[in-house]
């Protein structure tokens, strides 16, 4: 798994659109064949047509993330943003196939509604069979 930070996050942070202490962050799963474009995928509306549809344990619109933490690392000169793992239980059928996951800030409405923070690429399509639990672990973006 690899992650790519959206270019929009830089602007959103500089203009105080994102508040890690108070905003609601959401994770969505993306259909097979989805390709993330860090330059043009700015908000949820830009990618919603490629999100998995509701069914078999997944609900379109994703789920809220918990446990956001922002850590400064003066040794590597970077900032890491992390969340708790996120899981879905496949019920009555399989979830997927899915190419990856997007995390966006579900709070701002202007100037950019629901700005995308980044994309987690699963490396290959994933499908969770009925009865299984699909977990996206180690959710992190580095700036």
Go through 79-99 and write b for each residue having 16 or more CB atoms within 10 A of its CB, e for each that does not.
eebebeebebebeeebbbbbb
| Structure confidence at residue 77 (pLDDT) | 93
Res. 28: pLDDT tops 90: yes
Res. 104: pLDDT tops 90: yes
Q: Please tell me the pTM assigned to this model.
A: 0.94
Average pLDDT of the residues in 46-56: 97
Average pLDDT of the residues in 82-107: 97
pLDDT bracket for residue 2 (50, 70, 90): confident
Candidates 96, 84, 87; CA nearest to 126 is: 96
| Structure confidence at residue 111 (pLDDT) | 82
Torsions phi, psi of 13, nearest 5?
Answer: -70, -45
Pick 2 or 123 by higher pLDDT: 123
CA 25 to chain centre: 8
Torsions phi, psi of 19, nearest 5?
Answer: -125, 100
């Amino acid at each position: 798994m690899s992650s790519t930070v959206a270019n929009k996050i830089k602007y959103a942070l500089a203009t105080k659109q994102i508040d890690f202490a108070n905003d609601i962050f959401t994770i969505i799963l993306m259909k097979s064949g989805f390709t993330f474009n860090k330059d043009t995928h700015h908000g949820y509306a830009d990618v919603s047509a490629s999100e998995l549809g509701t069914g078999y344990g997944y609900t379109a619109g994703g789920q809220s993330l918990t446990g956001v933490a922002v850590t400064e690392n003066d040794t590597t000169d970077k900032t890491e943003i992390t969340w708790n793992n996120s899981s879905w239980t496949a019920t009555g059928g399989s979830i997927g196939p899915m190419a990856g996951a997007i995390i966006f800030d579900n709070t701002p409405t202007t100037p950019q509604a629901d700005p995308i923070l980044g994309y987690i690429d699963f490396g290959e399509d994933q499908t969770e069979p009925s009865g299984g639990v699909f977990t996206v672990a180690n959710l992190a973006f580095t700036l």
